[in-house]
Chains A and B, each alone.
Chain A
Amino acid sequence: MTTNQYAEPPPRVTLGRRLSTFFYRHPRVGLAVLLAAPVGWLVVGYLGSLFVLLLASFWDTNPFTSEVVHNYTLDNFRRIIEQDVYREVAWRTVRMAALVTVADAVLAFPIAYYMARFASTRTRNLLVVAVFMPLSASYLVKAYAWRTILSDSGAINWGLGPFGLTFDGYSTTGLWLVFTYLWLPFMILPIYAGLERIPQSLLEASADLGGRSLRTFYRVILPLTFPAVVAGSIFTFSLTLGDYIAPDLITSQQFIGTVIYDQRGTNLPVAAAFTLVPIGVMIIYLLVARRLKAFEAL
């Protein structure tokens, strides 16, 4: 071979090559093309629907046919603010969401703690499966099952019967139980992940400095996992805030979700306006959660 290996003929300028050169020279354009689809989806699908929701809350309805009329009005907001029932329902729902979150945190922490710190690999794997198993069953099946359990002739009252006690299952307390059950896995996982992330050396350091187990727990473990608890609470809180099926099946009381569901067919703008209440509550919640560094624990 006599030809110089460095004197290779220049590569043919194909379209693909030209494109890649272009993107190499204009990295921002390359990035834009790459992200156009997902960002477009986010903007149109997520923000767009929120925008329509906001718009719809200013619309009016025909009082006879319930058809949406595109006249702009503030009546929907006036109604939500002036009528006590909307405030009561909103307050009731937020209270429920808070109570469910607290109950889930109290239940989830020991389970997650055991999984992360004490369980053997085998037990831990079993527990992870056990925690997530209920998530594979349909939400409706679980809600209807609870309806049967909470019934006057259901399992709970059957168990209480011999002691002369009865439990009114179709009540706010009953609903609280159902929500606590339904969302528990969403609390366990972030706490478990948070506990896993604490290096063993920190606990040893605490012990070396004279910290006993209880003190180590309060001064080291709890502060370090708190962001994870807040992260889990985002799930339990928001899922409770928006749910309408369990409240409808278990209680005779109205919650934010059931009011929106009932109004959506007959007065869509009022439903849209009321939707802004849980959105507002969640925005505040997320701002607080960010302050508490929950986003880093997600």
Chain B
Amino acid sequence: MSRAWKRPLGSMALAGFVVFLGFAAAGCGSSGGDSGSSATQIPGLGSSLDEIKQKARDEGEVDIVQWAGYAQLVDEFKQETGCAVKTKDGPTSDDMISLITSGQYDGVSASGNASVRLMARGDVAPVDTDLIPNYADVQEGLKNQPYNSRDDQPYGVPHGRGPNLLTWRTDDVTPAPDSWSVIWDKNTPYKGKISIYDDSIFIADAALYLKATQPDLGIDDPYQLNEEQFDATVSLLKGLAPNVGEWWGDYAKQIQSFANEDVVIGTAWPYQVNILKADKKPVEGIKPKEGTTGWSDTWMIYSKAKHPNCMYLWMNHMISPEAQALVAEGFGEAPVNLKACALTKNKDHCDDFHAADESWWDDVYYWTTPTADCGGEGGTCKTQEDWVNAWTEIRG
């Protein structure tokens, strides 16, 4: 290489870099600064149900972020509305937030730990429930909850709720456990065979166990922990970590591990338990005596959705009795539309999952986001950021 070759390269690189800096600065200037507003009007959304149906035909598509297995009757939905459904599974709530804020999707089935943050960020829009006819059939007790509304303005439609189950292989774990202590005990006989959900939200499961076993810590809400409670919880988790055989984020990975006996006990969604049972694997899942964590999910619409009309119809579709019956049985959760109870294959499904029995849900703590103000209860609690940071340490 002669010098004559090098010089222009250098100056071009410099010029390119300056141009790039210009772009970067312009990009920084235009982003940021959009806070949540409570207008239900999304650009392009029809103002009546008829108009929505008409506009949906032109959109022809809806892109959703969902928990695996949520979307039901997709072909029927397309026939009826003209909207083709494209789904993307999010393994954790944090992943779902990343996905929906990428701007590529119209809506999301958000659990409480995602929905609260999405509302605060203004990434999801308030919903005009008059345009969603099936909303009238949703159980009243699930409407206008802190995780699906702000100031009594709904930000979506409830989807369903379920518990995280203590799950085990009945051929390897005897006697059948009735308490979480079987995994939290440092001398557990199942060392190296425990399967744990790989997300900071699992810290709440440890807090829940401490709430039952160490009442002097004074834990009330397992998602809002002060310094002392948090430290005790994290130290319990650090004791568990060496005994964990597998941290799962991908449900398919967990199913494989239970099927191969690489793990024999752990926490799972009813979805995995259902699939394993359907595959004739000796697996059982229960809500232990200490209670459990769980979720109450909400279909939400992205505030800059490209297909808002299809998304409105989708929200209506997912709380129809037919779709509710299928998803409740398929995923293993309680429907929010009790008309679904007449349509489930197992006629006892709603009873089995206590869909109408509010007292059963008293000790199921739905996922939500930890906040500095302890969820508005006053005091100083550890934040989401602290939880995530602690989770990295716990995993080691």
Q: Could you say which of B12-20, B74-82, B292-300 contacts chain A?
A: B12-20
Contact of B120 among A43, A64, A147 (CB under 8 A): A64
Residue in A64, A147, A259, A267 whose beta carbon sits within 8 Å of that of B117 in the complex:
A64
The 7 A-B pairs at the shortest CB distance, nearest first, are namely: A43-B16, A63-B383, A265-B94, A63-B385, A265-B98, A266-B388, A151-B260
Cross-chain contact A248 with B249 (CB below 8 angstroms): yes
Q: Which of B4, B19, B23, B389 is within 8 Å of A28, CB to CB?
A: B4
Contacts A65-B117, A267-B385 given; does A28 touch B8 at CB 8 Å: yes
Assess A253 versus B396: contact at CB under 8 Å? Given A39-B12, A64-B372.
yes
Q: A152 to B12, Cβ gap below 8 A?
A: no
Known pairs A265-B94, A267-B385; A254 contacts B5 (CB<8 A):
no
Residues in chain A within 8 A of chain B (CB atoms): 27-28, 31-32, 35-36, 39-40, 43-44, 47-48, 51-52, 55, 61, 63-67, 70, 79, 83, 85-86, 88, 147-148, 151-154, 168, 170, 248-249, 252-254, 259, 262-267, 270
Bound-state CA distance A189–B271 (Å) is: 46
Contact between B97 and A262 (Cβ–Cβ < 8 Å)? no
Interface positions of B (Cβ within 8 A of A): 4-5, 7-9, 12-13, 16-17, 19-20, 23-24, 28, 32, 92, 94-95, 97-98, 117, 120-121, 192, 198, 200, 244-247, 249, 253, 256-257, 260-262, 369, 371-372, 383-386, 388-389, 391-393, 395-396
- Bound together, the chains give a CA A47 to CA B245 distance in angstroms of 40
A266 touching B385 in the complex, CB below 8 Å, given contacts A43-B20, A48-B24, A65-B120: yes
Q: Are A64 and B383 in contact (CB-based, < 8 A)?
A: yes
Instruction: Give chain B nearest CB distance to A150 CB in angstroms.
Output: 9
Using A39-B12, A47-B17, A267-B388 as known contacts, say yes or no to A67 and B253 having CB atoms under 8 A apart: no
Q: A28-B8, A64-B383 are in contact. Are A254 and B261 (CB under 8 A)?
A: no
CB nearest to B94 among chain A residues: A265
**How many whole Å from B394's CB to the nearest CB in chain A?**
9
Contact of A51 with B24 at beta-carbon distance under 8 Å, contacts A65-B120, A85-B393, A88-B396 already known? yes
- Indicate if the CB atoms of A154 and B260 lie closer than 8 Å: yes
Q: Hey, which chain B residues are within 8 Å of A31, CB to CB?
A: 5, 8
Which of chain A's residues have a CB closer than 8 A to the CB of B198? 262
Contact B13 A264 (CB under 8 A): no
In the bound complex, how far is the Cα of B195 from the Cα of A170, in angstroms? 13
